[in-house]
Structure 1
Amino acid sequence: MTARPIRTARLTRRARAAVTALLVALAIPAAGTARAAGTATAQPHVQRACATVPAGQARCLALVRTDVQGGLGVRGPAVRNRARATAADTALPEGYGPADLRAAYNLPSTGGADQTIALVDAYDDPTAEADLAVYRATYGLPPCTTDNGCFRKVNQRGETAPLPQSGAASGWATETALDLEMASAACPQCRILLVEADEPYLADLAAGVDTAVALGATEVSNSYGGTESHGTTAFAKDYSHPGVAVVASSGDSGYTVPSFPAAYSSVVAVGGTSLTRADNARGWQETAWSGSGSGCSAWVDKPAWQQDTDCPGRTLADVSVVADPDTGPAVYVTSVPRGSGGWTVVGGTSASAPYVAGVIALAGDPAALPDASRLYSAPAAGLNDVVDGSNGSCDGDYLCTAVPGYDAPTGNGTPNGLSAF
């Protein structure tokens, strides 16, 4: 008798998830449905790099700290206990650097020399290579340049010229810098291919993914998103390339309508966490970031390898790493809308997607991730289970609340070494 109320409650949540996904996909409001965390208003010192876009386009998902601009100093948000800051900390930009992230996720410092990570972005970042050089030199990473064959920049057709118009004014150059530097932080020895779409139209970005694969990318990262709808399913084939791991940001608006292209079942959807130092065996702790995108797809069927019960369609996300701008990485970018740019802190799942692409590259077996199925059968020790925090209101359900095991805001957890990848 006691089981009946529990089973009824679960079915109610499941039904509500299905109805919510359908209604929000159709833009019909429904009382008592998902409420997103809305990071733009929840964190007033954070602004979106890219403005709202019209239908048919994708928005870059980088979130920029407005209280950290162009200066050096103790990495305040990243070092919660100022007493722990060392002299070395004061000589580096504010925000996490490669060594911090490598320690947090138990990653090796070498590997991936035979891998090519592609970053697909819109517009041109005219200072991409120069900014990347500053970032890598600051943190002691090996140079990655056109001259040494590590770095390559092309348009969506795979040509080195003509490149698209500058993305400085639109904010896409900030996104590009973040992508390049997070991929570098995860896999310093990987080659990097930057594919710049003409504009952020869904068709252009999808073409960029195809071009990246044609040019030999082993991992393709996509740090942008559009609201899932019937029309976005037309590009599913462009994000499915057996032998190549395709990853995408799950979004920065909390529990809401799923984000394209992360909703495709062939894509590893990457959510976000808040990451801080801690007095525990790991030395770090993570909670679900309030902005981490999660949702229940109304258009993509649930893949066989996904067994959660309260969403009848594809559930986002699959895995996560740090994305909270308040505990975010340092980024060097000079092609910005105003001023001369420099060091700042940038977050969002735009940071987590290229980092996970780098983790996959370090593991060296991208063919094992034609989708996210491997992450659902990985040894528990290979992932840090995130069990605290939420990204919206859903009556405590795993669709917006971090719980033991799988949950939508953080997926199956965060990397603990490479065994899960």
Structure 2
Amino acid sequence: MRPVRVLRLLLGAVPLLASLAFAPGAVQARAAEPGDRQQSVTAPAAPGPGAEKKQGTSKPVCSPKPGRAACSSLIRTDLPAVRNLAPGTLPEGLGPRDIRSAYQLPFGAGRGRTVALVTAFHYPTAEADLATYRSTYGLPPCTTANGCFDQVFATGNQPPVDAGWALEAAIDIDAVSAACPACNIVLVEAASDTIGDLLTAVQVARTRFDDNTPQAKYISMSWGDGENNIQPVIDPVYFDFPGVAFVGSSGNTGGVTNWPAISQYVTGVGGTRLNQPFPIPGPQQNRPGGWYETAWSGSGCGFSAFQPKPPWQGAFCNCRTNADVSAVADPLTGIAIYTTTPPPVGPSGWLIAGGTSVAAPLVASMFALAGTPGPNDRPASYPYANPRAFWDIDRGTAGAFSAGLGYDLPSGLGSPRGVRGFRR
């Protein structure tokens, strides 16, 4: 690890209430298909209309605690982890090829751009696990030595290890690798999961720069807490910076808002279930690859009680609403991830991850694929200026809210249709 800059900020922790919901899950290991060394495998087709749905179980990765943030990740628990893959096989779950196919992402774009992932505590096997993930899928190496990967302690001191947050970090770095293999990755580790420490890490992610890893213009926050009236006061200190794309997971709270995703300066990312079913009529009926998304029941969303409405958000209501956009989050159709740091539930190895913690780093990577934001732009406004760049999601519910034609609370504008919706 290279020496890191030390940035010490003073901020009292803001007491908040955190919540996570349980949701269904994903799969195991299978034979590789031709061409998989360049791209990953395609997920198995989901049942068509009227067919019996597969059931799975999952658990939250981080336990919510009063006054502390909780990560928005879920791990499938009804299938065992796979530590070692048989020769010629790939792990089950969505891989890089699936993500690029489902969201029509350009391959090879994003080179030289840095996605910062803000997490809490220390992930001791991050670089080695990332190497295994990328070599398994035939992706180019992303290491400290080649300047692609960096692991930064927000206070300059190594934080203690926490099993849940280490697993969250594994999900984040693998999600970025799947969506933007050419992007640089900086994992910024907060000293703890208090709001104050995480916001300090956000500040470090935004301001840090060295010769090998350029300053991050794309900052992913796969964590959050409930809303309160203090947040609009502190938001400008940490998120009111034109030219930087702040991206937050909307939470796994099933129709309840989550901060900082609900902040007016942040792009809040909701969750979907990503399938390849029989053709279903509607706005996605001609979607390439046979992909189809519905709103995920666990997705955090709703009307803000405190946040002012940003000027670019439509006339849905006279308040800030979330989600803004959505991506895969249902663990039943989750992504494959790899970790050797012992997780909080079950053994380590290849696992299936879901939750809006998956969706947020995917979208942050899509901002990076789209290009550098204008220095005076608010990247959170880009999707609203390009609504046709998203697949409209018109089915599914989250809490009391239902998806429908046009903007809706569970899915926002919809899921990415390429990266046109993430630039001017």
TM-score (norm 1): 0.81
Q: Given the superposition, is the C-alpha separation of residues 40 and 416 from structure 1 closer, same or farther in structure 2, using an over 3 Å criterion? A: closer
Partner of 1:179: 172
C-alpha deviation, 1:175, in angstroms: 0.3
Assess, with a 3 A threshold, how the Cα gap between structure 1 residues 252 and 373 changes in structure 2: closer, same or farther.
same
Look up the match of 1:373.
Answer: 381
Partner residue of 2:329 out of 323, 326, 349: 323
Work out whether residues 20 and 251 of structure 2, in 8 Å CA contact, stay in contact via their aligned partners in 1.
Answer: no
Distance 1:348 1:222 in 2: 13
Alignment-derived partner of residue 314 in structure 2: 307
Q: What residue in structure 2 maps to residue 278 of structure 1?
A: 277
Per-residue CA distance 1:183-210 (angstroms, 9 max, x = gap): 1111101111110000011111111111
User: Which one of the candidate residues 152, 159, 163 is aligned to 2:158?
Assistant: 163
Question: How much does 1:54 deviate?
Answer: 1.2
| Structure 1 residues 234 and 127, CA gap change in structure 2 (3 angstroms) | farther
Q: What CA distance in whole angstroms lies between the structure 2 residues aligned with 1:330 and 1:273?
A: 16
1:255 aligns with 2:255: yes
Aligned partner of 2:397 in structure 1 is: 390
Match of 1:152, SS state, is: strand
8 Å Cα contact 2:250-2:268 kept in structure 1: yes
- In structure 2, the partner of 1:20 is none
Contact 1:106/1:416 (8 A) holds in 2: yes
* Structure 2 residue 372 is matched with structure 1 residue 361: no
Question: What letter is aligned with 1:145?
Answer: T
Structure 1: give runs of 5+ residues left out of the alignment. Answer: 1-25, 28-35, 75-86, 394-399
Residues 196/407 of structure 1: CA separation in 2 closer, same or farther (3 Å cut): same
- Given residue 323 of structure 1, which amino acid in structure 2 is its aligned partner? A
TM-score, with length taken from structure 2: 0.80
Shift of 1:303: 1.4
Quote the Cα distance in structure 2 between the aligned partners of 1:371 and 1:218: 10
Q: Cα offset for 1:305?
A: 1.4
Pairwise CA distance, 1:242: 1.4
Which blocks of at least 5 consecutive residues in structure 2 are unaligned? 1-15, 26-54, 209-214, 280-285
Return closer, same or farther for 1:109/1:148 CA change in 2, 3 Å cut-off.
same
Partners of 1:73 and 1:95 in 2: CA distance: 15
The answer as to whether partners of 1:73 and 1:93 remain within 8 angstroms in 2 is: no
The reply on whether 1:62 has 2:73 as its aligned counterpart is yes
Q: Is the 8 A contact 2:24 2:332 kept in 1?
A: no
Structure with greater helix share of residues: 1
Tell me, yes or no, if the aligned pair for 1:73 and 1:92 is still in contact at 8 Å.
Answer: no
How far does the alpha carbon of each residue in 1:51-109 deviate from its partner, in whole angstroms, 9 at most, with x for none?
12112x110111010023322899xxxxxxxxxxxx99x82111000001100111111
Q: CA deviation at 1:174?
A: 0.6
Deviation at 1:234, TM superposition (A): 3.8
Q: Is the 8 A contact 1:267 1:370 kept in 2?
A: no
> Would the alpha carbon gap of residues 378 and 135 (structure 1) be closer, same or farther in structure 2, given more than 3 Å must change?
same
Counterpart in 1 of 2:150? 152
The alpha-carbon distance between structure 1 residues 103 and 299, as it changes in their structure 2 partners (threshold 3 A), is same
* Alpha-carbon spacing, 1:125–1:107, altered in 2? closer, same or farther (3 Å): same
In the other structure, the counterpart of 1:202 is: 195
Task: Name the CA distance, whole Å, in 1 between partners of 2:119 and 2:402.
Answer: 31
Equivalent residue, structure 1, for 2:299: 292
Aligned partner (choices 16, 22, 30) of residue 39 of structure 1: 22
**Matches of 1:173 and 1:73, distance apart in 2:** 20
* Corresponding position of 2:224: 225
Moved more, 198-207 or 235-244: 235-244
Q: CA deviation at 1:418?
A: 1.6
Tell me how far apart the structure 2 counterparts of residues 265 and 231 of structure 1 sit (CA, whole Å): 14
SS, match of residue 259 in structure 1: coil
Q: Is contact 2:246–2:266 with CA below 8 Å preserved after alignment? A: yes
Matches within 5 A, 1:83-102: 91-102=89-100
Aligned position for 1:22: none
2:137 maps to 139
User: Cα 1:265–1:131, aligned 2, differ >3 Å: closer, same or farther?
Assistant: same
RMSD: 2.4
Q: Identity across aligned pairs (percent)?
A: 46
Name the residue aligned to 2:113: 115
| 1:210-234 per-position Cα deviation (integer Å, ceiling 9, x unaligned) | 1111111110000001101123334
Separation in 2, partners of 1:328, 1:338: 17
Q: Distance in 2 between matches of 1:392 and 1:379?
A: 24
